[in-house]
Amino acid sequence: MQETMQERSSEKEGLFADLIVVGSGPAGLAAFAAASDQGLQNILCLEREKLPGGRLRRKDEEEAGREIFHRAIGSAACLKHFLSLLENYELSVSCGCELRETKFSGADRERPFSLLVRQYEGKEKHFFCRALILATGEASSPEGPTLLPCPGESPEASSRPLPAGLFLAGELRRKCPLPDDAARDGAEAGRRASDYLLSDQPKSR
């Protein structure tokens, strides 16, 4: 089932991964780590900003890390520890990638999700994956012809069903007052995504 990340081509060439995590804040980083712990290897993280970290880089939250590292160490130290921990996972983050459009094709079981990304230099690139975790935060949401929910809208609140293989994490799914809350939610999404990909009969989301 596992395969190395490779260039795929359809109408346009793009990069393929078994799992793509969009967003590298505490939810996205925790999702990546949890999926890796479950045995998933071919994972890519896409980040809109120039550096990973999300709210940990933008906000000074003194309580950050209390539940993750069992003591309050603040945003900057929490991010430092997070990135140091994830070096063991060979985290692959593509920064400067703004998600412009997502598409889902239930007929394509090998790569049902197609993502159109605009990079800083203005170039557009396509990515394909078998499962997708959106951890972009409440303020942002991909646009385009897709079944994805609106910003901040939970799967239960949306009248549109989520496609199989799509998982929401962090503040895109629910309010997360602390980075620890977002990380816990992201870890759950990572485990669910890996279960979905590694099991012959994916578990219900």
- For the stretch 169-183, pLDDT in tens is 998 888 888 899 999
Quickly state the pLDDT bin for 191 (edges 50, 70, 90). Answer: very high
Quickly state the pLDDT bin for 162 (edges 50, 70, 90). Answer: confident
Per-residue model confidence (pLDDT) at position 19: 96
Hey, what amino acid is at 90?
E
Per-residue model confidence (pLDDT) at position 58: 87
Per-residue model confidence (pLDDT) at position 8: 39
Quickly state the pLDDT bin for 159 (edges 50, 70, 90). Answer: low
What distance in Å separates the CA atoms of residue 38 and residue 34, rounded to the nearest whole number?
A: 6
**Who wins on pLDDT, 118 or 82?**
118
Is there a contact between 73 and 67 (Cβ–Cβ < 8 Å)? no
Hey, what amino acid is at 186?
G
Kindly state the average pLDDT of the residues 53-71: 86
pLDDT value at 205 more than 50: no
Per-residue model confidence (pLDDT) at position 143: 42
Q: What is the mean pLDDT of the chain?
A: 80
Q: What is the DSSP letter of 65?
A: T
pLDDT value at 147 more than 80: no
Quickly state the pLDDT bin for 141 (edges 50, 70, 90). Answer: very low
pLDDT value at 161 more than 90: no
Kindly state the average pLDDT of the residues 185-190: 95
Helices (H), the chain: 26-37, 55-58, 74-86, 179-198
pLDDT value at 139 more than 80: no
What distance in Å separates the CA atoms of residue 30 and residue 192, rounded to the nearest whole number?
A: 12
**Who wins on pLDDT, 114 or 91?**
114
